[in-house]
Every structure is written in C-alpha cells, then in structure tokens.
Amino acid sequence: MFRLSIKINQDEFVLHGTDIAAPLRGCVRQPTQRLTSGLCLEKLDLVSQGTPAQSRTLITCLQTLIERIRLGHPLYLVCQPTAESEPYQSRLYAGDFSWILGSVQPKGIGIRLELQREDYWHLPWRALALHNSHGSGVLDGLQIDNRDDNPVAQNWCWLAGEDLLGDLPAPVRLHLRHDLQSTDSMDAIFIGWGSARNTPLAVLEGEQANSQLNFGAVMNTDCHAGAYGLVQWESSAALRILSWVLPGAAFSGLAGTQLRPLVRFHNAASLRAETWLSWKLYHGSLVFQSSAQQLTVGRQLQLLPTICLPVLSNTEVPWNDLRLELLAQNRNPGSTHLALDAVFLFFSDGWRQFVALPDGKLAYGETLIDQSDQQQPYIHLVETQTNQQAYQVLGNGLWLVPGQDHVLQMLFDTGLNMQLDPGCRVQLEYQPRTRMLP
Amino acid sequence: MKPQVTLRLPGLQNDSPWQVQEMDWAIPGGSHNAVISTLIQHPQQLSPEMIKDWLGNTLEIRSPAGEALWHGWIENIHLVLDRLTFRWGTQAVANRVIARFPQVSPLLNPLQPWGYSEWVQDAASCEHLGAKEQLLTLTQADANSARQAAANHMGHYVRDFQRGLVLSEARATPQLRLIASGWWQRLDWTLDGEEGGMLAHLPGGKSQQPFGLSGIERLAQRFQVGGTAFALGQICLRAALIGAPADQVRVKICADSANRPGTVLASATLPNYALHGGWQWLTWQLDTALNLTAGTVAWLVVERTGGLDAANHYALETDDGRGYPDGECRIWNGSDWVLLAQDLRFCLLAVAQSSDLIREVAEQAVAGGVLQGVQIWKDSGMLLTRWRALEQTRRDVLEEWLGLGCADGSQLSALVNPAGILEVFALPRLPELPLMLGTDGSLHLPTGVALPPALDLLGRPMLLPGSGSQDAVILRGLRWTEEKGVVPVVE
C-alpha cells in the first residue's frame, strides 16, 4: 500500500503515505472482512506520535469524519496500491475508532479505525472509445443519427470490450449533446444497450412486411428507407396485419433475451385511439405472444410491448428463421389505416428511457447527463455552466461488462413528431470497478 | 431482477435507494399490494405532517428494462425509529359522507327502502387526497338529523390518518416502510349509485282499479321517456288477485296512437303462480330490451290472458291524488279507451349489459382521475337493471358484475393495465400459450421464453405438474419477493 486517505469532497485526510500530517505516522491495513450487510469492513491501525495537543486534534478530526459518515455525507476511502498505479476509491457508510489496548506509550499511541465501505473499489471516470460510421475511437462525442437506413446514417454506436479495465460490471455515464443540425428540442429519448454485441438488429421496414389484408408499399422521402407500408382493414376482430421473416442467424445469439420494439408511424395523427397492437412470434410454432397495447394517437414514435425470444437446448446448431407478426384489434369495426414506417428492435441488456417532466425538454445546445447508478439525470447548460432537471428516467442503466463489446442504440422524438434527419452527439464514460486491489 | 421504484415524496431528502420487499397481483384488479422500504439518514427532517401528505401518492415499480411491473398508491406509511414504529394510513379517513335512514313507508318505492341525506364534504381534503366517500346507515333518523350525523362523522374522520404506535423489543435502524395498494382497491373510495334508468310513478296506493272483468277489460297508462334513451327491460306494478283467477297477466308496451295505445312494441307475461291475493310489487321482464328514444310517448297496457270473470280477476294500485304529470290512465270498456281520473303506480326499469355498466362505472373513475381508460374485450350479454341504490363501492359492484360472467357461460375478469386502463376480458387470457408450473413452484413458458411481467400472466391457463391441458387452472394471483422471485398464489 503506497498511500491511503479519506476523501471529503476536494479535501483529503491522509492516513498513510505522502502528505501525511503529524501526529500520524502511518497505518497498517488488516485483511478486509465481508459483512452480511453486503459492505466490507476495513480495520486500519493508525500510528500517532505527537504532543497531547496534536493527539487531541487528531481525535477531534476522526470524530468529525465518523460523524459526517453517519450523517450520510459522501466520504471515500482512497487507496493507491503502488506509486505507479492510480488511486482507487470506495464509498464509506459507517465508521468507528478506539484505542488499541496497550499501545499508549510516551513515543506514540495506536488507534484502531474501523470503516464500513462499499464492497468494491473504483477508478475515476474515463471516456470510452466509440465507433460507428461517423468515426472510430471517438472519445469526446460521436454523432448518432435518428435513422439507420444507409451506411452513413446510424442510430447506434459500439465500443470494444478488450481494453476495458476492472473485473466487475461498471456504470456508464452518458453525455448526450444536442448541438447538431436541428434546433427543435428533444423530447422522449430511448436508449437500448446490448452486451456481447457490436451491431444492432436490422430495422424491420414497414414496406417490406407481408400482409393478407389490403396492403401496399408507399414511396415517401420523409420515411425511413424512403417508404412506408400502408395496411387497411375494417374488422373489430384481432387480426394479423403485418408480418416479417427474421433471419435465424441474427437471433440465435439472443436466445432467451428480450427486445424492445420502437415503431415509427407515418400517419400518427390519423391513428384510431381504439386500436390495440400486440406481437406474436413464431419459431416453427408459436413461441411468444405479448399483451396488447393501445396506440397513442398523434405520436409518431411509440414503444410497443416487449418481444421475448425463445431458447433452444442445442446452441451449436443455427436457428431457423422466425416470423414476427403484428396483430391489431379495434373495439368497434370501422375503416382503419395504419402507415407503419419502421420497427427498431432495441436490445435490453441495459435500458434508459428519458421521459420529459412537465415543461421539460433538451433544447438545442444543451447536454443531458445521465449516470447509470443514479435515478435522476440532469441537463447541463453550457452558457451559464449550471445544471437543471428536466427528465425522469426509466430502466436499470447502462452497465459495462469487462471484456465484452457493447452496442448502444438510440432514438428520440421532438414531441409528437419523430424527425429522421436530426442527430446528436454521444459521449460515454465509465468508472472501472474491481473487488480486489491489484 | 432488481425492481426499480418510481416515487415522488415532497420534502424527503434521502440518499438510500428504495428496496422492494414484496409485490402481489390478483384478478380481478391487477396490482394488489406492494411493500417498499428505505433507510433514513436524517430522521429529524421528517415530520408527521410531511408524511401524511405522502398518503395517496402514486407508486410505480418497474423492471430493470423499464417495463411497468406494479402500480398503485400509498395506503400506509410506517416510520421506524429505534424501538418505536409510527403508523399512518388512509383506511379510516372519510372526507365525503352521506347518511341514509329508513323511508317512512317502504311500500312507497319497490326498490328503495332508504332515504338519503345531502352529501357533506371537506373540499380541501378532497382536493388534496381525493374524495374518500363513506355511507352511514342510521336506523332512526330524518333528513335533517341524518345530515347532521354525516357532518359529525366527517368532522371526526376527515384527518384520521394516525393508525398506531408500536413499541418493539428490538432496536432497528431508522427506516420508512410504504405499503401500497393497486388502483383497483382505490375504487373502494367511491360509492356507486345510478339515479337514471328508472321511469316511475310511485305515490298513491289508497285507490285500486280492477281489470279482467266486463266493462273494465284492460288498463293502460301513458308515459313519457325523459331526456335520454331508455332500454326498457323490466316493468313493475303493484297488483293483487281478486277471487281466484287461473290465467296469467300480460303487460304490453304500445306506441301512442292519437292518445290511445297503438302498435304493440313488446310484451311480457307473468305466470299465475307468481300472483297471489295480497298486494305486492310484481315484475314483468322483457325477453329483449325495448329501446325507447328520448322523449318517446308510449303506453303500458295490462290485461289478463283468459276470459273476463267478475268473480275472479285482478286489481292494480293507483294514485287518485295529484297523479302522474306526464301521462294518463285509460280503461278499455270493450269498445273504447275511457279516461280514468287516476294513474297507475308503476315503475319501468332500464337494463344494460353488465359489461356496459362496467364501462360506465370505469368511465366515472376515469373522470375522477383514478383510471386512465377502459377497454371491454368481451361483451357479457348479461342484462342488469341500470338503476342502483347508493350502497356499494365501485369496486364491490364491479366485482359483483364480473362474478356473474357472460351469457355464453364464459368467465369474466378485469385488471388495470400498466397504462392505467381497465381491461375487461374473458378467461382464460391468451389460451394458446399456457404457463407451466414446476414442482418447485416456479412458473415458466414451454418455449423457454422469459416470463413477461406479472400483469401479462394473470388470467392465463396454468398447467400443473404431471397433468394435461384439460386440467389447466387459471392463474389468478402472483407474488414476488426478492428471495423467491415470482411465484403463483394458488388457493
């Protein structure tokens, strides 16, 4: 152990190593003990040599630290194992200290400091190198589009797992900068996260669907891939309105996982409020059926019920193709038109869904910052260098698994409309975590 | 799975995350109960007034992928401080109260033996917490004293949030524990009643009018439908036998033809065994509801099915006082409809499918902000009277109607979906993909697909270990704890 300290905001109370202050001379770190509470207990034997007045000052200082921990202030134990290594931190949750029996001598005294800390150490935040069609290894913000219909426009990026530090899943901090083409404020923002993947699943285009109903492809330059699929029906019965064949090869690695489908409608304003949509997935036979969800009239981008993928016992043999069916049911019969532009299948190994609070939005020039292990994202205002709240977030966050590639998918709207052309910039940071110090 | 809590508690500043202790779901209803807790770092910052303000607030619990698992509202709060546990809850609160008392004469109204006071309410409490209604039943009172009793009751219970103080043997870390209930349970806060659906003239009773004998062959009462359409399903008259007639009594609804009964629109016959010598309210049920548009003028005609007999015939009670203002009574004397200076005592009841009644009650809950919508997937085909006395809560009547099932024999159930929409459906749901119960109590799908959220599982068929699909049971309850995950609740 090269250096050990307790960090309080920007201040440090050094227990061992450089910058240690009298009367402390150093400390001995006993083996760490795991507690049933899930925390770890650090036993530190401090050696103090100084005048009685210095000792009183030290005791007062320790008492203050313990009290601040008890009050919930963010204090960290910081350990630098060697002179060459970076300092690791661990959040403190409780503490106490006492004299070491028999250690009170004219030359010095021993103090046993017991600290309960988080059961892992972490390094400071560091940027992740992101890749997509707009750049490779970008650390300071990579462009993400709101479409994925040509080699240049991508609503996703990926990062390589081989150079990731740490041995535990680590939280990812997202910086989403709205400073590209469009000046419209961003409203709902959806982020899917796939582990052990470096590409997303192909977008299901509405115009490429199959249908037994009155169906046709309609060319339209405002749509994803330049067209949408228009299906029409009259009945109030539950009907299969569209279906797609999904290539088994792309899905076999996803056995047992769940996909969250985001659908873009071209005729959002003329949707019927009484239309409910659901999914059926066939892999030879019917393997999954979702609940039905009512359409939101007027909103182009809508999150439909989750699709659960099946498992097969033999993972070596490739999967046969799957068939995904979209079913619709109206409460009453009547002419119904559904102009479906595209279905984006998002991974859900991690999930972030930003829901704007009343009057909340991400305006042009602002940055949304979200840390996976915290509930509340915030917006950073560059002009005033201040932060404010505007969003509520749903989902468990984005977590990095060391050694695995990861892919991030994103879509957003500007309220009722989902424009395809705007983009934004995404920067990711992570905080490597480790159970044991090197 | 580590469920995530979405909750806003004004004034609470706490770094510790909320832990979900347990959740359960059941049909009818959906989300049923949930318990969450958090350690409190600064208990001195909490005040009873602040905590009471949290009661009734919305609670959502979501999966790691953001899907809604459980949603409802805070019904009880426990604050644990060392050995003391303070408890607050909404159970005893009443901020909108009405009292009922026995009618002077229960003979006056065949359906309503109670009189009611005016509503008494605390507007500020209703605004903040939402209206929590209560019905007082008094055995001896009049309208004035009933209102006073309601006011006294509300004054006593409008802020009765304190539910207890418990001293434990063991010391505990300061913590808050919230016990929440689903939106279905919130329907218990509102009383159900429907004043529409009844067209009646009930005063009178000291005069009677015989029929079924020479010169007084039939009786007819003209009536007028009010401002809304009326699906007539039941006709009530107060009748008695004179002598011992052996035939039946037929009631017909006829169109108006120059102020006389015209074309027969519907009819119903009451078998003879249903009649007897004493005066009683009798009900004729139409096989199919007769839809009368608003403002329609029609006639209620009563006749016997057998021959005229002066010794053995029937009689109806009438009103020889102020009478029915929207119609008149006539007698068929064998050649003409002759005006009678009395009116029949009659009661016409509108009917509706139970699924339509469910929709109407749910829409009232939508207007009150408790539900976000209603979707009926299955029409019941069961006709019930629309008029209802103020007696049960909305939840009670909904459960009663669901319990009746459908005319085709299928079972009916309902749940509040993650969007807050009440969905009414036939059981079982999604029969093509039954759930399987393992011998260890775990649930799974035969294809290995991950289990969808609990609200999607309720009402599905569940195959028991070692049995075939013919022995499948319907999954009616689920429970989640961190130790066991989601397990079915089997009664």
Instruction: Report pLDDT digits (tens) over B427-471.
Output: 999 888 899 998 888 898 888 888 889 999 999 999 988 877 778
- Mean pLDDT of all residues in B8-18: 82
Architecture of the domain defined by A124-438 = Sandwich (2.60)
- Residues 6 or more apart whose CB falls under 8 angstroms from that of A150 comprise none
Measured between CB atoms, which of A257, A294, A351 is closest to B66?
A: A351
pLDDT for A104:
65
- Find which of A69, A258, A274 to mutate to test the B interface (most B CBs within 10 Å of its CB): A258
Query: Shortest CA distance to B361 belongs to which of B114, B26, B28?
Result: B28
Q: Looking at the complex, report in whole angstroms how far the Cα of residue A59 sits from the nearest Cα belonging to chain B.
A: 24
**Rounded to an integer, what distance in angstroms lies between the CA atom of residue A411 and that of residue A422?**
10
Residues of A in contact with B430 (CB under 8 A): 289
Q: Which residue of B has its CA nearest to A69?
A: B41
pLDDT for A81:
93
**Rounded to an integer, what distance in angstroms lies between the CA atom of residue A2 and that of residue A336?**
72
- Residues 6 or more apart whose CB falls under 8 angstroms from that of B67 comprise A306, B418, B453
Q: Name the maximum alpha-carbon separation found in chain B.
A: 93
Q: Which residue of B has its CA nearest to A71?
A: B41
Mean pLDDT (chain B) is 92
- Mean pLDDT of all residues in A178-195: 91
Query: Poorest-confidence range of A31-35, A210-214, B88-92, B100-104?
Result: B100-104
**Rounded to an integer, what distance in angstroms lies between the CA atom of residue A66 and that of residue A75?**
10
Inspect the interface and report whether the beta carbons of A287 and B447 lie closer than 8 Å. yes
Q: Is the pLDDT of residue A433 over 80?
A: yes
The pTM (predicted TM-score) of the whole model is: 0.88
pLDDT for B206:
87
CB B303 within 8 A of CB B316: no
Inspect the interface and report whether the beta carbons of A351 and B64 lie closer than 8 Å. yes
Tokens describing residue A121: 């150490």
Query: Shortest CA distance to B39 belongs to which of B2, B73, B12?
Result: B12
pLDDT band at A176 (very low <50, low <70, confident <90, very high): very high
Q: Which residues pair with B186 in a beta bridge?
A: none
Handedness of CA A412, A418, A419, A421 (dihedral sign): positive
The dihedral region occupied by A55, where left means phi > 0, alpha psi between -120 and 50, and beta the remainder, is: alpha
A 10 A CB-CB count for A80 gives 19
Residues of A in contact with B417 (CB under 8 A): 291
Residues of B in contact with A291 (CB under 8 A): 417, 452, 455-456
- Mean pLDDT of all residues in A324-337: 93
Q: Is the pLDDT of residue B272 over 70?
A: yes
Per-residue pLDDT of B57-102, as tens digits, reads 999 999 988 899 999 999 999 999 989 999 999 999 999 999 999 8
Q: Is the pLDDT of residue A125 over 70?
A: yes
Q: What is the 3-state secondary structure (H, E, C) of B348-399?
A: EEEEEEHHHHHHHHHHHHHHCCCCCEEEECCCCCCEEECCECCCCEHHHHHH
- Mean pLDDT of all residues in A289-316: 90
- Mean pLDDT of all residues in A246-269: 92
Q: Is the pLDDT of residue B314 over 90?
A: yes
pLDDT for A105:
65
Q: What is the signed CA dihedral for B1, B6, B10, B11, rounded to 10 degrees?
A: 30
CB B378 within 8 A of CB B410: yes
Residue type, B327: G
Q: Hey, where are the domains in chain B? A: 4-91+161-189, 96-157, 203-344, 351-427, 435-488
pLDDT band at A314 (very low <50, low <70, confident <90, very high): low
- Mean pLDDT of all residues in A277-297: 94
Q: Is the pLDDT of residue B318 over 80?
A: yes
Length of chain A: 438
Q: Looking at the complex, report in whole angstroms how far the Cα of residue A338 sits from the nearest Cα belonging to chain B.
A: 20
pLDDT for B77:
96
What pairing do the DSSP bridges indicate for beta strands B4-7 and B411-416? Answer: unpaired
Q: Is the pLDDT of residue B366 over 80?
A: yes
Tokens describing residue B435: 């759930």
- Mean pLDDT of all residues in A399-412: 96
CB B461 within 8 A of CB B469: yes
CA within 13 Å, CB half, B258: 2
Residues of B in contact with A287 (CB under 8 A): 447, 449
Cis peptide before B446 (omega within 30 of 0): no
Q: Is the pLDDT of residue A64 over 70?
A: yes
- Mean pLDDT of all residues in A49-58: 87
The dihedral region occupied by A15, where left means phi > 0, alpha psi between -120 and 50, and beta the remainder, is: alpha
pLDDT for B92:
93
Inspect the interface and report whether the beta carbons of B4 and A394 lie closer than 8 Å. yes
CB B438 within 8 A of CB B416: no
Which fold does the domain B203-344 belong to in CATH?
Jelly Rolls (2.60.120)
- Mean pLDDT of all residues in A56-66: 92
Inspect the interface and report whether the beta carbons of B447 and A348 lie closer than 8 Å. no
Q: What percent of chain B has pLDDT over 90?
A: 76
Q: Hey, where are the domains in chain A? A: 3-119, 124-438
**Rounded to an integer, what distance in angstroms lies between the CA atom of residue A345 and that of residue A247?**
13
Q: What is the 3-state secondary structure (H, E, C) of B6-27?
A: EECCCCCCCCCCCEEEEEEEEC
Tokens describing residue B345: 């005592």
- Tell me if residue B155 falls in helix, strand or coil: helix
Query: Shortest CA distance to A290 belongs to which of A238, A221, A227, A226?
Result: A238
- Mean pLDDT of all residues in B363-370: 96
Inspect the interface and report whether the beta carbons of B417 and A291 lie closer than 8 Å. yes
Q: Kindly state whether A190 is in contact with chain B, defined as any CB-CB distance less than 8 angstroms.
A: no
The H or E element spanning position A66 is helix A52-70
pLDDT for A419:
94
pLDDT band at B12 (very low <50, low <70, confident <90, very high): confident
pLDDT band at A426 (very low <50, low <70, confident <90, very high): very high
pLDDT for B173:
83
Q: Kindly state whether A288 is in contact with chain B, defined as any CB-CB distance less than 8 angstroms.
A: yes
Measured between CB atoms, which of B15, B375, B445 is closest to A331?
A: B375
pLDDT band at B107 (very low <50, low <70, confident <90, very high): low
- CATH class, domain B351-427, is alpha beta
Q: Is the pLDDT of residue A360 over 80?
A: yes
**Rounded to an integer, what distance in angstroms lies between the CA atom of residue B338 and that of residue B38?**
80
Inspect the interface and report whether the beta carbons of A396 and B64 lie closer than 8 Å. yes
Per-residue pLDDT of B164-202, as tens digits, reads 889 988 888 889 999 999 999 999 999 999 999 999 999
Burial class (CB in 10 A: 0-12, 13-18, 19+), A41: middle
Per-residue pLDDT of A82-111, as tens digits, reads 999 999 999 999 999 998 877 666 667 899
Please, what is the Cα angle at B240 between B238 and B243, to 5 degrees?
165
Per-residue pLDDT of B438-448, as tens digits, reads 888 889 888 88
Mean pLDDT (chain A) is 92
Which fold does the domain A3-119 belong to in CATH?
Elongation Factor Tu (Ef-tu); domain 3 (2.40.30)
Inspect the interface and report whether the beta carbons of B6 and A392 lie closer than 8 Å. yes
pLDDT band at B15 (very low <50, low <70, confident <90, very high): low
Q: Kindly state whether A331 is in contact with chain B, defined as any CB-CB distance less than 8 angstroms.
A: yes
Cis peptide before A151 (omega within 30 of 0): no
Cis peptide before B428 (omega within 30 of 0): yes
- Residues 6 or more apart whose CB falls under 8 angstroms from that of B360 comprise B194, B352
**Rounded to an integer, what distance in angstroms lies between the CA atom of residue B352 and that of residue B443?**
39
Q: Is the pLDDT of residue A166 over 80?
A: yes
Residues of A in contact with B432 (CB under 8 A): 286, 289
**Rounded to an integer, what distance in angstroms lies between the CA atom of residue A366 and that of residue A386?**
11
pLDDT for A313:
67
Q: Which residues pair with A155 in a beta bridge?
A: none
Per-residue pLDDT of B41-57, as tens digits, reads 778 888 888 999 999 99
Backbone φ, ψ for residue A369 (5° rounding): -120, 125
Q: Looking at the complex, report in whole angstroms how far the Cα of residue B388 sits from the nearest Cα belonging to chain A.
A: 27
pLDDT for A171:
94
Q: Looking at the complex, report in whole angstroms how far the Cα of residue A44 sits from the nearest Cα belonging to chain B.
A: 25
pLDDT for A263:
98
pLDDT for B276:
78
